[in-house]
């Protein structure tokens, strides 16, 4: 039975809200399919504003993969701003898709992609506006199955009450398998109702259904055990790993936004995974092993994307793009192909030790010579050894000297504050490093218009990393250290004006830490914050630390734990972590040994260094044998032939 569009009811109110274009839909390459002809219907959500959510490549890929199947329909929805939420509630209009303005509650499945935990409250807003009960146990077979994915879903326990299921890892293949299960269940007449559908998803071993697991706590408030309460639920749920990226060259038909978004470019993921071994980096740990796209596939994706979108900038994306084994040939081939056109190429943040001027020149051949971004992460050499970011100060200076001497005028350096074993002196070393960068730039270029921007984020320990046991630095100490650093930079009359300084307050990081390493009891906090008006917590103008702190005090009363217990407390080896039953492939003993190595490096009793296992013997992290995978790298020996420019 067809579902009517809510647009006739919505349209009269669009001029009363900010940026109404974000709710209209109709983007280039949008897919519109017949509701009645579809057997399985998905709505995909990125739980943030349209301008942030539309460029998200994960959602765009799944949108296309699903809609390529004749029997599947997929549409998109995003978080609505508070002014639109007010309109929807007053006019009794449900959360809708931007594609055809169909009610979200009418779909079979709601897939939510979480890049950050601070989007959790936006999920609750969408569920409530859609008329979907907040708690999974209150839903019937008439409600969509709510499935979480994305990096933040590797510990879905804080939202276990609100989602029906979670998927770990790559989504391209698993969304089709889930669709097959739903199709079969519906075709049989929905036997056993919603619980039977969830059972069928859970028995695969690759879809996590939280309600099939019980969490037991000991007298201190710590987790004693997480055990299945359903006879067919597996003890551990595995992540998905897509092994042949060349067979999945998506997106083939990228969405082109009507409104301005945070990224105005076409992006090609040139490889997935990272084995550099930075101990703080969850993305690098959970996406192992490395899987490269071939040079021919990259070239074809770039050519197709430019033709299908009209974008003039192409971003070659990965966690460390300059580490692609054929990046030199990729850069030269693309620069040759598009020389003299309006197409420019860009790389995201580049490792200091992977940068070379030839590569940089190729990427800037057709475009303007904008600033270069490097991420030393730690201010002192000791800190960089602790986090296994093996870049020396001299490495950085040599790199920026090369850049400044070849015409670049601006460099951006990214650091973190609050890393394990960090001292005030480690943070103040950031100022000394920035001053040396400016002095070097002036010397090699003979100019005084050299700039360096220092950007600092607070360190948040993440699950499935060696630092998952670390104590998070309290917000007060974070803010004090950054204040001293800023004052030190500004007080320098010779270099202060040439150094830009950007940093984040410590309080949002504490809440991100709560949500990152929280267990199911944190769901009570999320719900209380949402009921008290929490929305768009990833945006500084909407974030309220007092609201989170007060809600935590109320929600955790009588549990034996509090906000500090989740954040500023160091964990021990034998503690049961909330995500221990979720298998990212990483061996827990290996992670613990790497954590101990970090502490030993920090106190000077060791100088152990973990190399990139692409070029060294295996370090036994566990991923390849556990997941039945292997590192996939070039070179293929092929070249990228130029195409004539139209």
**Confidence band, pLDDT 50/70/90 cuts, at residue 136:** very high
Nearest residue to 233 via CA among 566, 581, 485: 581
Q: Which of helix, strand or coil describes residue 508? A: helix
pLDDT at res. 646? 40
Full-model pTM: 0.96
Tell me the two tokens of residue 103: 């009610």
C-alpha closest to that of 209 among 184, 182, 237: 237
Mean pLDDT in residue range 238-267:
93
Please provide the average confidence, as pLDDT, over all residues in the chain. Answer: 94
Q: In the chain, what percentage of residues exceed pLDDT 90?
A: 83
Higher pLDDT, 594 or 359: 594
What is the arithmetic mean of pLDDT over 2-24? 95
Least confident of 136-150, 236-250, 603-617: 603-617
Percent of the chain with pLDDT over 70: 98
The span from the CA of 105 to the CA of 353, in Å, is 50
**pLDDT at 318 exceeding the cut of 60:** yes
- Sequence-separated (6 or more) residues with CB below 8 Å from residue 613: 275, 277, 619, 621, 631
| Lowest mean pLDDT segment, chosen from 168-172, 231-235, 603-607 | 603-607
Q: Find out whether the peptide bond into 352 is cis, omega within 30 degrees of 0.
A: no
CA angle 63, 65, 67 (to 5 degrees): 65
| Higher per-residue pLDDT: 606 or 360 | 606
Q: Which two tokens stand for residue 481?
A: 């250290």
Task: Specify whether the CB–CB gap between 139 and 72 falls below 8 A.
Answer: no
pLDDT tens profile 430-475: 999 999 999 999 999 999 999 999 999 999 999 999 999 999 999 9
Alpha helices (H) in 34-171, listed in sequence order:
50-53, 57-67, 82-91, 120-130
Tell me, what's the pLDDT at 645? 45
Among 130-134, 392-396, 554-558, 638-642, the minimum mean pLDDT is found in: 638-642
- Please give the Cα distance from 265 to 9 (Å, whole number): 33
Mean pLDDT of 166-186: 97
Question: What pLDDT score was predicted for residue 171?
Answer: 97
pLDDT level of residue 1 (50, 70, 90 thresholds): low
pLDDT tens, position by position, 348-379? 767 787 777 788 888 777 766 667 888 999 99
Is the pLDDT assigned to residue 17 strictly greater than 80? Answer: yes
- Pairing relation of β-strands 40-46 and 109-113? parallel
Pairwise CA distance, residues 518 & 523, whole Å: 9
Contact residues for 428 (Cβ-Cβ < 8 A; gap 6+):
379, 484, 485, 488
Q: What is the mean pLDDT of residues 300-321?
A: 93
């Amino acid at each position: 039975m067809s579902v009517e569009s809510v647009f006739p009811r919505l349209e009269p109110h669009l001029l009363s809200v900010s940026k109404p274009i974000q709710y209209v839909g109709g983007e280039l390459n949008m897919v519109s399919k017949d509701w009645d002809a579809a057997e399985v219907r998905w709505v995909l959500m990125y739980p943030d504003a349209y301008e942030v959510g539309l460029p998200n490549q994960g959602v765009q890929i799944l949108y296309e993969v699903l809609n390529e199947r004749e029997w599947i329909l997929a549409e998109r929805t995003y978080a609505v701003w508070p002014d639109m939420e007010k309109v929807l509630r007053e006019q009794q209009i449900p959360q809708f898709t931007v594609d055809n303005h169909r009610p979200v509650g009418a779909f079979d499945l709601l897939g939510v992609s979480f890049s950050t935990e601070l989007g959790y409250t936006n999920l609750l807003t969408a569920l409530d506006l859609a008329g979907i009960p907040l708690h999974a146990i209150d839903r019937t077979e008439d409600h969509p199955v709510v499935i979480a994915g994305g990096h933040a879903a590797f510990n879905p326990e804080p939202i276990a009450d609100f989602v029906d299921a979670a998927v770990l890892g790559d989504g391209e293949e698993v969304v089709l398998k889930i669709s097959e299960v739903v199709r079969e269940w519906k075709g049989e007449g929905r036997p056993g109702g919603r619980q039977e559908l969830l059972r069928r998803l859970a028995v695969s071993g690759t879809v996590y259904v939280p309600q099939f697991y019980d969490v037991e706590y000991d007298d201190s408030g710590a987790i004693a055990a997480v055990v299945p309460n359903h006879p067919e639920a597996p003890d551990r749920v595995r992540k998905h790993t897509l092994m042949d990226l060349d067979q999945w060259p998506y997106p083939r038909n990228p969405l082109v936004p009507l409104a301005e978004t945070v990224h105005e470019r076409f992006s090609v993921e040139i490889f997935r995974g990272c084995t550099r071994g930075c101990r703080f980096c969850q993305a690098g740990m959970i996406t192992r092993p490395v899987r490269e796209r071939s040079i021919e596939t990259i070239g074809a994706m770039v050519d197709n994307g430019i033709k299908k979108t009209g974008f003039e900038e192409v971003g070659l994306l990965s966690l460390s793009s300059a580490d692609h084994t054929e990046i030199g040939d990729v850069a030269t081939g693309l620069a040759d192909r598009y020389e003299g056109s309006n197409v420019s190429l860009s790389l995201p943040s580049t490792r200091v030790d992977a940068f070379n001027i030839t590569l940089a020149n190729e990427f800037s051949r057709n475009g303007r010579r904008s600033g270069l971004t490097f991420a030393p992460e730690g201010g002192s050499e000791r800190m960089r050894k602790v986090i296994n970011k093996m870049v020396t100060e001299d490495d950085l200076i040599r790199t920026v000297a090369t850049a400044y001497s070849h015409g670049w005028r601006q460099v951006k350096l990214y650091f973190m504050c609050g890393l394990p074993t960090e001292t005030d002196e480690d943070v103040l070393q950031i100022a000394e490093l920035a001053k040396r960068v400016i002095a070097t730039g002036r010397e090699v270029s003979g100019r005084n218009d050299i700039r360096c921007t220092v950007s600092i984020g607070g360190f948040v320990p993440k699950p499935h990393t060696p630092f998952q046991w670390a104590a998070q630095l309290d917000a007060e100490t974070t803010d004090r250290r950054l204040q001293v650093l800023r004052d030190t930079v500004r007080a320098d009359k010779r270099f202060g004006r040439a150094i830009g300084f950007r940093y984040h307050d410590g309080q949002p990081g504490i809440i991100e830490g709560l949500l990152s390493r929280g267990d199911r009891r944190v769901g009570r906090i999320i719900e209380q914050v949402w009921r008290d008006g929490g929305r768009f917590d990833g945006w500084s103008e909407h974030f309220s630390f007092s609201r989170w702190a007060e809600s935590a005090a109320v929600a955790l009363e009588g549990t034996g734990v509090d906000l500090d217990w989740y954040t500023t407390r160091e964990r021990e080896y034998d503690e049961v972590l909330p995500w221990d039953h979720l298998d990212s492939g990483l061996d827990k003993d290996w992670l613990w040994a790497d954590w101990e190595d970090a502490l030993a490096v920090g106190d000077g009793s060791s100088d152990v260094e973990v190399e990139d296992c692409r070029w060294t013997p295996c370090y036994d992290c566990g991923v390849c044998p556990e997941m039945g995978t292997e590192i996939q790298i070039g070179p293929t020996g092929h070249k990228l032939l130029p195409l004539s420019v139209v």
